[in-house]
Chain A
């Protein structure tokens, strides 16, 4: 009878990549995301036109494959003669930037609050968590909308507003993980060995909570892009002539029946970006979640 030898268990990072790469969707998402980064970085070089340049003689030109289209404007132009393709390419910069900034703010704020709440417990915990619950009681877009109304419309304020609204998710996750880990033996061992509270928080406990935080991070990245686009669509986010994809949709709205391409392409751009990130997020979650491992 043939002997099947049992291989040595693989190294942690290699094992993670093995699971992640098994998920073809996640790998495709990753490549698309990398492509988006490249586009964002090299937009000035790739884009055929200046995104804000208006061509008075080329208003609402259809895409190249429709009647009346031209190769100068591959995806057509909008109502004031700006090339849609170039605007989309530059728009990638804004979307990725928004995602990055929002997640960074929400992550740092949320983790800090969650660590403090979980670690110190007692009334500190209660107060922080009640505040988080109040924030979560409001529908996210509504709260972001009201915050932007207070701060004034604009991309920066939109990002701050969205970050504030998304932050409780990180705080809750961190707190739950801290409370679960707090009483484990390795923490007690570190405490007995004389580790300071700060060291305990960051060096001992936090690395073990990373899994769910990473997954939530990708989810928040995609939510940030969608919410920023929604705010832009409602006129409260990035203001014209900024080529942010949501703002482009707001400007295009009155032409949906006359010139549907002005509406279609920015939405597709948002969809592809968010889809790629969600695919990666799914892959990360499956790779990091021990329960789903099939062996």
Chain B
């Protein structure tokens, strides 16, 4: 088990440096003078230009610049946003909880609906339940989710008037930020109706973001279960005269869930991509929307910092999933 953990950690290091190289190189690959791009000022005099050149380190050899960059990373310095003039890391941390709240709710919804759906589809293979649920899953991940979000807005917000169109909470409410998670903060604030407002703002974005992971998890659960049901040890369980509930629910399910855990973890990358679109549609103030805004406003330090942070987070989550997999797979746990 220890060897497994060390192996996974060892793999982390070159990938992390690869990510930093991509983030570092990103600004230098853009068309145009990087000094001008990163300056955020207009109408530079030659003296000011020289000043910025050495300030930003572009007069030094490239590997020195890189080490300098990585060094600053470890001190938490990801640069200053051209638009807000505040540190990129601070801006990111302010917006991060919104995306996490949305993402966690989405993955919970996807898992709680997707796994049972897939398992039952496998058990009732070939029946109408199987066909309909897998058909729905197929439609789920064939849809452009930005369109799906718009449709839901048209129907639930426009036509029925049940849900709000954008934002995290009604503008009526204002309270101090404690955790950054609107559901928790609204409860803590004690203001009547705040929690309900936060919840109603969360519903549609969660459903939209959860759609693709739910479809993928359902399909994967089904195929994992089908594969397990054909294994020898399931035949042994039946040969022992155990009830079908026990054969499927205990013997088969444990084994089928192992690859599904990996799938769930891998969906985090999809969630980030989906968050970009979902947050844009629902004007959800998270890092997905902020990335799109930064790109269109040419706020390159923010884009650079955002790239690094998002990729870093995905990498850490993937590593955690790998480690979790090692923990629940008895062959690896007891080796």
Interface residues of A (CB under 8 A from B): 25, 130-131, 133-134, 136-142, 145-146, 149-150, 152, 222, 226, 229-230, 233-236, 246, 249, 253, 256-257, 260, 263-264, 266-267, 270-271, 274-275, 278-279, 282, 291
Q: Check B22 against A138 for contact (C-beta < 8 Å).
A: yes
Q: Check A152 against B139 for contact (C-beta < 8 Å).
A: no
Closest beta carbon of chain A to B212's beta carbon, Å: 10
| B117 proximal to A (CB < 8 A) | no
Q: Check B273 against A139 for contact (C-beta < 8 Å).
A: yes
- Taking CB as reference atom, which chain B residue is nearest A245? B144
Selected from A130, A141, A249, the residue in CB contact (under 8 A) with B276 is: A141
Complex alpha-carbon distance, A140 and B276, angstroms: 11
Q: Check A233 against B277 for contact (C-beta < 8 Å).
A: yes
Complex alpha-carbon distance, A230 and B277, angstroms: 8
Q: Check A142 against B31 for contact (C-beta < 8 Å).
A: no
| B98 proximal to A (CB < 8 A) | no
Q: Check A249 against B15 for contact (C-beta < 8 Å).
A: no
Chain B residues near A134 (CB-CB < 8 A): 15, 18-19, 21-22
Q: Check B29 against A282 for contact (C-beta < 8 Å).
A: no
| B147 proximal to A (CB < 8 A) | yes
Complex alpha-carbon distance, A138 and B23, angstroms: 11
Determine the main DSSP class of A at the interface with B.
Answer: helix
Encode contact with A along B49-91: 1 for CB under 8 Å, 0 otherwise.
0000000000000000000000000000000000000000000
Closest beta carbon of chain B to A267's beta carbon, Å: 3
Q: Check B296 against A257 for contact (C-beta < 8 Å).
A: no
Q: Check B272 against A282 for contact (C-beta < 8 Å).
A: no
Q: Check B139 against A275 for contact (C-beta < 8 Å).
A: yes
| B154 proximal to A (CB < 8 A) | yes
B39-47, B198-206, B308-316: which lies at the interface? B308-316
Find the residue from B139, B144, B296, B310 having the highest chain A CB count within 10 A. Answer: B144
Chain A residues near B273 (CB-CB < 8 A): 139-142
Q: A137-B311, A257-B158 are in contact. Are A263 and B272 (CB under 8 A)?
A: no
Find the residue from A149, A253, A279 having the highest chain B CB count within 10 A. Answer: A149
Chain A residues near B269 (CB-CB < 8 A): 136, 139-140
Closest beta carbon of chain B to A124's beta carbon, Å: 15
Closest beta carbon of chain B to A115's beta carbon, Å: 22
- Taking CB as reference atom, which chain B residue is nearest A24? B131
Complex alpha-carbon distance, A103 and B65, angstroms: 37
Q: A134-B19, A275-B139 are in contact. Are A145 and B276 (CB under 8 A)?
A: yes
Complex alpha-carbon distance, A140 and B314, angstroms: 12
Q: A145-B291, A234-B292 are in contact. Are A278 and B138 (CB under 8 A)?
A: yes
Residue contacts A-B, CB under 8 angstroms, 11 given: A131-B18, A137-B314, A138-B22, A139-B272, A141-B276, A142-B276, A145-B295, A233-B144, A249-B147, A260-B158, A263-B150
| B280 proximal to A (CB < 8 A) | yes
Q: Check A246 against B19 for contact (C-beta < 8 Å).
A: no
Chain A residues near B151 (CB-CB < 8 A): 263-264, 267
